[in-house]
A and B are shown apart, each in its own frame.
Chain A
């Protein structure tokens, strides 16, 4: 018991440095991980999909998939896991940390890029480095999937128009025979240059133990 405690303490330390969470936050996340995985060592897709609150979320599948996506693990691998361990869970969560007041400009920009990569990966499902029209259409369809019976074509129309917009902003002088492959990461970044992603894309991670609050 003692050995495993020091072992987990060592792991926590490691995770803290890798992800930047505090010890309290990691402990809380670990508690939540154990809850979700029903005390197993690894988490599967079903565990996440069974979360009640996620049922109403139109992009549930993408969110779940993002946890199992190897690209989000900062290890330059591709493909996806079947099951993830706690480390992978925390790595994904670390993408949602808010910027700390002590960060320098470069760190903030790096964080922004990191978060944008996360988003990009969510859209680019076939992993070819660009978001093609089909993928974008899928994104919009999913987004609208929960809102009544939307004709497929409306979603497509929206996606097409959006795609056109990106194309015309980024490649202004395309001839009629040029072919716009898809939204690359640079173009994607360009879309968000007004938005300070590092501040917008964050979730408050609690330092307080929430065990007693809800099951």
Chain B
């Protein structure tokens, strides 16, 4: 089967290439027959079938390109061995080269990676995806280091490369005498920046530990401001020809304006977006659009003023995210995540393919000296820069960067399409081609050589990989406890450290930007509920009786509770906000918890088992087992009242669509107290039209059940619970489907 696929993959691709070429041809000739027809005077038959390609030319070609790119991507993953050895981005560039070659061979004009196309359409989705899912805690903890690398590191790179290249250009016999200092500096500025697209593409596949990832990636994002300023600075100067001290000073001022201005613009749009999301509870369908549009506007607005668009986009995403996520429905969250991943995936693929095509197509001016020295100098300056800066930074860091870390940071400084596009924007033609050639060579070198070898090197050096962190309830409790403790100590000490400000910020801002009661919902409770869900999910997966209530496991609460103190628990009454929260969390299945932790990795998204239809079958099978176990567990010992065993705790199949309105709630029914039953249960028995909610509550009841101590009184409650489970009449049976795993 796989052989069939792997042979049809390239064939299909070949077919598409041909189709593309034919369409390119056809677009040239399409116009003529029509003209001829309309100019004749005598009557002809009504055209049943006519060919009018011009009409749809542009969208047709765009769609064809995108389709081609995605089929390529698909093809690589189907062929099993290739994707584990070669990086996807490398393969895409190679494909681009091939296509470029074909197009050139038939003497067509190939679409080139136009800067406008790149900066306005291809780059923003990738950056938004990265910024929205940026892991905030490590980012802010290492902010100082990241900034130093981004700003000082890039400046150093630009200066070093620019200066040394000028020196190289002075060498006799290299025919480079016409390159002046400013052009060299401009070239240095373009090539010095680490590229986020390339870094993302490579680092995603190597699963490196979070610290290193955030250092390199954060640097690649934040150095945009420096790049923008340097680029414009040197471009202006190279036209003017002379640099004065005043100009240099203005350049420094410009840097601050560009970076801080960009961040400010992004934050404003982020707050607007967060504020808007507060009111979207009645129009859930358009929620994702707000996120996308506000972010895109932030990017474009920043670009209008020549501020750093990337920083603006990141600031917008980071600002917006916590509030938007508290306000929007789970479906919208999923939509946002999927769309962002999708767009960024497509963008990245297209960028790499176009890089390949542009390489073949573009006018080149190959100069051995220039190119080779560029490559060498890039490497050298990167290594020197990282080592020097780390030496200084380690004096201020508590967790030091080891030599291995430094090596990875240096080696991971990849250049990519941003450098190419900036080069493309150059207006001075005589050196532009030479620069472009050098830039492309550097990009190829970093992506192919560094990108492909980084994975074995990471293995070789035994660099710490990303840990699969299973946060436990205890960790969560103690993290929060520690936060409060440190804030308290800071207050006692009398100086306002960052814990204090964070606390204040949280207290005031959240009130404005998060809908109603959710702003007071303590993190711990929602975390706890997620944990419960997680345990429940693990139950379903494992399906073995031994592990049944993992919360209980071998040590039941009986053992823990102090002997001789059988506390009578008050029956819990679920408040309205709790119900909403419960419903929200339960409908948000475990995917949400897990993926929130690792959402910045695109590949994890693909691999998640819960979204795979195959697992549905597994679920069904295990569901039956689970029901059996649950009924066994919930059945009471002999000295109780009559107890029919639990009939069903049903699980809804994965892909069933609910026409469920989030704003509904079983509020009306919540108020019905029952003298002996927990309120949760009373709701269960009367719920004809709202299956989802009942089951949600039922699930909550059952999980709460497991967490409680089965002492004397509670076992009795359990009996009642089990009775209720089986009680519902025939018309409720169909609707009993629980959204245990929605």
User: Which A residues form the contact surface with B (CB < 8 A)?
Assistant: 29, 32, 35-36, 48, 51, 53-54, 56-60, 63, 93, 96, 98-99, 101, 119, 122, 132-134, 139-140, 143-144, 147-154, 156-158, 160-168, 171-180, 191-192, 194-196, 199-206, 210, 213-214
A81 → B minimal CB distance (Å): 16
Q: Report how far A196 CA is from B265 CA in the complex, Å.
A: 37
- Let me know if B48 is at the binding interface, CB within 8 A: no
| Contact yes or no, B522 A59, CB < 8 A | no
Q: Report how far A213 CA is from B496 CA in the complex, Å.
A: 11
Give the top 4 A-B pairs by smallest Cβ distance, nearest first.
Answer: A167-B555, A53-B491, A147-B522, A148-B520
- Let me know if B507 is at the binding interface, CB within 8 A: yes
With contacts A147-B522, A157-B704 taken as known, whether A164 is within 8 angstroms of B477 at the C-beta atoms is no
Binds A, one of B3-11, B478-486, B614-622: B478-486
The residue in chain A whose Cβ has the minimal distance to the Cβ of B520 is A148
| Contact yes or no, A54 B551, CB < 8 A | no
Q: Report how far A139 CA is from B561 CA in the complex, Å.
A: 16
With contacts A56-B507, A143-B481, A150-B525 taken as known, whether A161 is within 8 angstroms of B707 at the C-beta atoms is yes
- Let me know if B570 is at the binding interface, CB within 8 A: yes
* Chain A residues with CB below 8 A from B528, complex form: 154, 157-158, 161
- Let me know if B524 is at the binding interface, CB within 8 A: yes
Q: Report how far A214 CA is from B90 CA in the complex, Å.
A: 58
| Contact yes or no, B704 A200, CB < 8 A | no
B502 → A minimal CB distance (Å): 13
* Chain B residues with CB below 8 A from A158, complex form: 473, 477, 524-525, 528
Chain B residues 483 to 530 lying within 8 A of chain A, measured CB to CB, are 484-495, 497, 499-500, 503, 507, 517, 520-522, 524-525, 528
Q: Contacting B553 at CB < 8 Å: which of A29, A54, A157, A168? A: A168
Q: Report how far A119 CA is from B486 CA in the complex, Å.
A: 11
* Chain B residues with CB below 8 A from A98, complex form: 398
| Contact yes or no, B555 A171, CB < 8 A | yes
A88 → B minimal CB distance (Å): 13
Q: Report how far A51 CA is from B521 CA in the complex, Å.
A: 26
A91 → B minimal CB distance (Å): 13
Q: Report how far A143 CA is from B524 CA in the complex, Å.
A: 9
| Contact yes or no, B478 A191, CB < 8 A | yes
Q: Report how far A39 CA is from B253 CA in the complex, Å.
A: 48
- Let me know if B559 is at the binding interface, CB within 8 A: yes
- Let me know if B531 is at the binding interface, CB within 8 A: yes
| Most A-side CB within 10 Å, residue of B475, B491, B552 | B491
Q: Contacting A191 at CB < 8 Å: which of B474, B520, B563, B570? A: B474
| Contact yes or no, A134 B493, CB < 8 A | no
| Contact yes or no, A201 B573, CB < 8 A | no
* Chain B residues with CB below 8 A from A203, complex form: 486, 489-490, 493, 497, 499
Chain B residues 442 to 482 lying within 8 A of chain A, measured CB to CB, are 469, 472-475, 477-478, 480-482
* Chain A residues with CB below 8 A from B497, complex form: 203-204
A156 → B minimal CB distance (Å): 8
- Let me know if B562 is at the binding interface, CB within 8 A: yes
The residue in chain A whose Cβ has the minimal distance to the Cβ of B554 is A174
Q: Report how far A45 CA is from B477 CA in the complex, Å.
A: 26
| Contact yes or no, B559 A53, CB < 8 A | no
Mask for B78-90, Cβ within 8 A of A = 1, else 0?
A: 0000000000000
Q: Report how far A48 CA is from B491 CA in the complex, Å.
A: 10
With contacts A152-B570, A160-B708, A201-B482 taken as known, whether A165 is within 8 angstroms of B488 at the C-beta atoms is no
Name 5 A/B residue pairs within 8 A (Cβ), A-sorted: A93-B493, A152-B570, A158-B528, A161-B707, A201-B486
Q: Report how far A57 CA is from B486 CA in the complex, Å.
A: 10
With contacts A93-B493, A144-B522 taken as known, whether A57 is within 8 angstroms of B488 at the C-beta atoms is yes
The residue in chain A whose Cβ has the minimal distance to the Cβ of B704 is A157
| Contact yes or no, A200 B489, CB < 8 A | no
| Contact yes or no, B572 A51, CB < 8 A | no
Q: Report how far A144 CA is from B526 CA in the complex, Å.
A: 12
Q: Report how far A201 CA is from B572 CA in the complex, Å.
A: 36
- Let me know if B674 is at the binding interface, CB within 8 A: no
A139 → B minimal CB distance (Å): 7
| Contact yes or no, A168 B493, CB < 8 A | no
Chain B residues 529 to 579 lying within 8 A of chain A, measured CB to CB, are 531-532, 550-563, 569-570, 572-573, 575, 578
Q: Contacting B473 at CB < 8 Å: which of A54, A144, A162, A173? A: A162
A176 → B minimal CB distance (Å): 7
- Let me know if B399 is at the binding interface, CB within 8 A: yes
* Chain A residues with CB below 8 A from B531, complex form: 161
| Contact yes or no, A59 B553, CB < 8 A | no
Q: Contacting B562 at CB < 8 Å: which of A93, A134, A149, A204? A: A134
With contacts A63-B488, A206-B495 taken as known, whether A143 is within 8 angstroms of B569 at the C-beta atoms is no
Q: Report how far A215 CA is from B647 CA in the complex, Å.
A: 68
Q: Report how far A45 CA is from B521 CA in the complex, Å.
A: 31
Q: Contacting B560 at CB < 8 Å: which of A58, A167, A202, A213? A: A167
Q: Report how far A35 CA is from B140 CA in the complex, Å.
A: 33
The residue in chain B whose Cβ has the minimal distance to the Cβ of A62 is B485
Contacts A53-B500, A63-B489, A119-B482 given; 18 further ones with Cβ under 8 A?
Answer: A32-B493, A57-B488, A59-B481, A63-B488, A96-B486, A122-B485, A140-B524, A144-B524, A144-B525, A147-B522, A151-B572, A157-B704, A161-B528, A162-B474, A191-B474, A201-B482, A204-B497, A206-B495
